[in-house]
Structure 1
Amino acid sequence: MEPVVQAAADLSPWALFVQADIVIKIVMFGLLAASVWSWAIIFERTRRLKTINAQAKSFEDWFWKADSLDALYEPASKAKHPSARMFVAGMNEWRRSLGKGRIDREGVRARLTSILGVAIAREIDDLGDRLNVLATIGAVAPFVGLFGTVWGIMRSFTGIAASQNTTLAVVAPGIAEALFATAIGLFAAIPAVIGYNRLLHGLGRLEARLSSFGEEFHGLLSRQLDGMEDR
């Protein structure tokens, strides 16, 4: 009698997905969608941070070359980047404070400090809005993949018990499907964690830059305030 030769199981990624149980397919699809979402956030926020840093440098150069703060106010009010919005917020408070009659120097300084701080916090909060998504994907994706792995292994053991066959040809496809779910979970999680840390670092540097500019702007207004006569 000729020996029976079993065809080798197809263990390619596509075959593993097609052959997988519906639960594992849902897990895999969800993890792939999370990976695409995280990459979209990483690319969009990286591009936006790069653009904002370039705009901040350009605005700071423009700020120090301007003849007066009032001359800079009108074009800055039309700009759409954090440095310009922070400058406009400070100038609005400056103008309101000087229009009240008697000048309370310490009060003006305190309000300017508060306004600039709030403006910076608002801008950083807006830019960091989607970073929590990356943090969530990085933390949860491995466990979702692990769930798919556990489910796949349980399904494999059930199949072994039903067939009473423990040969590698029977066991391998189910185990491979299960491990593939974990691999996709790591594929989604690792870039999300790296992207989160890099973007968080970029946000920290931008916040430091805006804070430095805010202190310089505040110092300039404070010196002008000292040169004014009491009303």
Structure 2
Amino acid sequence: MTFSICVHETYEDDGEEHDRFGVAVTTRLPGVGTLCPFVSENGAVATQSLVNVDLGRRGIRYVDDGLAVEDALEALLNADEGASNRQLHGVDRDGEFTFSGEDCKDWYGHTSGDGYTVAGNLLTGESVIEATATAYADSRDDETPLAERLIDALAAGHAEGGDKREELRVQSAAVRVATTEERELEPFYDDLRVDATLEPIADLRETFDLAREGYEMALEKYEDAYEEDDIDASEE
């Protein structure tokens, strides 16, 4: 009932190398952002199909504790009696993991590449995840924020048909990004959800644009205050 993408990137800022992780997801049900995407400065995980939220919560916790994403997610699936109904995928600094249980509903499947995984079920076809993966892979050298590029990747999959259940009008989408870089003010656009809408990708993109505008305005007004940890340092 979903398609999603998890990614890992490295980048440099002021001569220092950092890692960032992101996950984006959409489905023809409300509130997907509360159930499926999990991210930290160490990895990104998505749990879907017949959702077991604990797989995502514990999966990212295990990665944070130093377990490789493949080992963490395989261990959780091995202990899950409903594993045949699950899709679970994710990335960490060193690799990728994808799983689609044999009882997921058609069309279902997954793909992966260097630093990313994509999976989906109840889709119009394989081209949904292929388009999502290609759109992301083609954007990896862009300097635009990762959250924006992940929304673009969802848009590419959505344009191929996305979730096939057209009778379900109320949809949702979410994007989450985390990084090892320490910033005075975390970008507001790195954790966004559209919980109930008829146009999930368009609304998520609009929300991103507004959040980015708000972030830039807040930086201009409050950056000195955050740096000095003193609200009086901001403009009046």
Higher RCO (CA-CA < 8 Å; seq separation 6+): 1
Larger Rg: 1 or 2? Answer: 1
TM-score per shorter chain, which class?
under 0.3
Structure with the larger helix share: 1
Structure with the larger strand share: 2
